[in-house]
Amino acid sequence: MDMFDGAIPHVMEEAGFLAPILFVLIHLIRPFLFIPVIVVCIAGGILFGFVHGTIYNIIGLSLMSLIFYKLVDIFPSFRRKITNLKKKLFKDRVITLGQVMILRMMPFMHFHLLSLYLMEMTKSFNEYMRYSIGGVILPSIIYTAFGQSVTEMPIYISAFFFLLLIGLYVYLGKYNTTTYKWNHFFHVKSSE
């Protein structure tokens, strides 16, 4: 195990300027290897430090969102599979954009399932990508910076944070029926 722990940093060190590209590629093949998002984000913090690790995690997760959007268009069977998973887990429940963002922070949530929700909530590819990128920033920061310490926390502290996220999720679902648009937070120039 010690040999394996030292092998990945050594490979990244030897890769030089290609290391960030290899790391982003790991994000893209991660679903096929059944590696959770949190594991790759923690690795980004360990290998590249907080700032660069966060940037590479955001890039990797954003590209994964882009590829998911394209795959769903190309392969309708893939969309059906994710839709069936959605029906199985959430039934016909409608969730808000805020709830999707909270669920993105939970390490056990299916990344592509949440991307499907975003696809259904948005009207265009550009809007989907804005929300996707916005939705991976906070989890990338948290998992990169605190990922190692979160995994080493006592169970009662981890349970407290988990319950806090669930409470925020419920609150956003029951009391926050307002839909926030990108333009409320960022000034968008009109095309006139």
Distance of CA 113 to the CA centre of its chain: 11
Residues 146, 118 contacting (CB under 8 angstroms): no
Q: At 125, phi and psi to the nearest 5? A: -60, -45
Tokens representing 7?
Answer: 């092998």
Higher pLDDT pick, 121 / 189: 121
Q: How many CB atoms lie within 10 A of CB 52?
A: 16
Q: Is the predicted pLDDT of residue 4 greater than 60, yes or no?
A: no
Predicted confidence (pLDDT) at residue 190 exceeds the cutoff of 80: no
| Close Cβ partners of 134 (under 8 Å, ≥ 6 residues apart) | 101, 182
Q: How far apart, in Å, do the first and last CA atoms of the chain sit?
A: 61
Over the stretch 54-94, which tens digit does the pLDDT of each residue have?
A: 999 999 999 999 999 999 889 988 888 888 888 887 777 77
Domain coverage including residue 116:
2-185
Token pair 């925020």 in the structure block, residue: 168
Is 55 inside a domain boundary?
yes
Domain membership flag for residue 190: no
**Which tokens belong to 171?**
């609150």
User: Is 58 a member of any domain?
Assistant: yes
Q: Does residue 191 lie within any of the structural domains?
A: no
CA distance 14 to 22: 11
pTM (two decimals): 0.72
Residue 192 lies in a domain: no
DSSP string, 23-81: HHHHHHHGGGGT--HHHHHHHHHHHHHHHHHHHHHHHHHHHHHHHHHHHHHH-HHHHHH
Mean pLDDT, residues 164-184 = 62
Q: Is 91 part of a structural domain of the chain?
A: yes
CA 144 remoteness from chain centre? 12
Task: Tell me whether residue 162 is in a domain.
Answer: yes
Count of structural domains, the chain: 1
